[in-house]
Amino acid sequence: QHVAGVRPGINRLVVRPRLLNGLNSLSSSHIIRGTRVELKIAKGEKSVAVVDGKATPFENGELVLPYSKKKSQRIEISLKES
């Protein structure tokens, strides 16, 4: 979970992704509070996040979400190359 930046909290899920040198993308799957979270992180032209097909605020390198009540959740994050 640490490489993908997944940090479950008491009442929210925080994702602070980082790609290690040499990696262009990373995919992972996690079971968090009964929800399968599919996470895809990739380098891109700008930093953006999409959760279940909807653009979601991604500020200061951090995505903060309430816990999903669904059985699955898809998170896609594009990280601006530095």
pLDDT of 2 reads 66
Instruction: Give me the pLDDT at residue 81, please.
Output: 79
What pLDDT is stored for residue 48 in this prediction?
96
**Start-to-end C-alpha separation, the chain:** 23
Q: What is the mean pLDDT of each run of 10 residues along the chain (82 residues)?
A: 83 93 93 96 95 95 95 96 74
How many Å apart are CA 8 and CA 78, to the nearest integer?
Answer: 20
In this prediction, residue 63 carries a pLDDT of 96
Cα dihedral angle (44, 47, 51, 53), rounded to 10 degrees?
Answer: -50
CA dist 80 and 40 (Å) reads 14
Q: pTM for this structure?
A: 0.91
For residue 1, what pLDDT is reported?
Answer: 54
- The label of the residue with tokens 């968090």 reads 32
